[in-house]
Amino acid sequence: VHHPLDYNQAMNDCSATYRRLWKFLIPAIIFSFMFNLPKFFETRVISIPGNSTTLKIGVTKMRLSPAYSTYITLSEFFVLGVIPVLLLVYFNGKIYRDIKEREQRLRRPERNAKVVSHSCFGKQGPSHSPPFLEQDNIPSRTPVQSRVVTISNNVRRRSTEDKMARLFMTIVFMFLICHIPRITLNFYEMFTLKTALKCADRQLPTISVWVEIMMSVSNFILVVNSSVNIIIYGAFNIQFRKAAKKRWAKLVMLTPFHI
């Protein structure tokens, strides 16, 4: 939507597609590993002696450190909450504006194509074959007609791309809605961090009951969000429904549906 030339190159060139994939995939993997690296040092294995060896997972001194607790709370709030939401809202807002602007631009070629088509066929209309089609019964097209067909194909292709963009915007909107409880809990945790640390020093509960309940609700909503995407694809994308039917037919050993 934003870069149509790069998109067309990626669609027609396999090497360009792989370059785009690695350009985004490698930095994401490196950043994810570096960001989650401290979590590997938060816990340790405790061996409880007895008749049989019993292992228990305990926290390390680093995890109990107030400085580390402050760091992990603030970093998760901004890296996993604020920054992704702001980026999603910003980029989807740009996509929405680009779609509206392109729809306005596409209306002008459609009107021009209708005018050109009318002038090409004349008053007889498109149902009567023009004289140049009657020679040896060999169908041919004038440059004007080829231009009309090209404009029509471009309009149809761009309309399909705009529908896919709206589909992804719907998925992002559902993502934002389902992540609101998690972001709210992170926001609450950030402002109650000092109180939680004081309670931990006095061996008191650090989390309220309603927070524990909301954490379970938030985790459930996140699972729903990851599962509802296939329903959205099926509701808005005909090609996806056809491909899903064909794949399901193969799984149940039935005659495949023809796409």
Q: Is residue 104 part of a domain?
A: yes
Q: Is residue 15 part of a domain?
A: yes
Residue 133 pLDDT: 43
Same domain, 127 and 235: yes
Which of 171, 189, 168, 191 lies closest to 179, judged by CA? 171
Domain of residue 35, residue span: 1-64
Residue 128, SS3? coil
Output the tens digit of pLDDT for each of the chain's 259 residues: 455 556 665 666 667 777 778 888 999 999 999 999 998 888 888 777 765 667 777 778 887 787 888 888 888 888 888 888 888 888 878 877 877 777 777 666 555 555 555 555 444 444 444 444 444 444 555 555 555 555 566 666 666 666 777 777 788 888 888 888 888 888 888 788 778 778 877 878 777 888 889 889 999 998 888 888 888 877 777 777 888 888 877 777 655 544 4
d(CA 259, CA 243): 7
Instruction: Look at residues 64, 80, 101 and tell me which one is the last residue of a structural domain.
Output: 64
Instruction: Look at residues 34, 64, 94 and tell me which one is the last residue of a structural domain.
Output: 64
Same domain, 241 and 169: yes
Q: What is the pTM of this model?
A: 0.57
Per-residue b or e along 21-33, where b marks 16 or more CB atoms closer than 10 Å to that residue's CB: eeeeeeeeeeeee
Same domain, 155 and 242: yes
Residue 204 pLDDT: 80
Q: How many domains does the chain have?
A: 2
Instruction: Look at residues 42, 64, 86 and tell me which one is the last residue of a structural domain.
Output: 64
d(CA 176, CA 170): 10
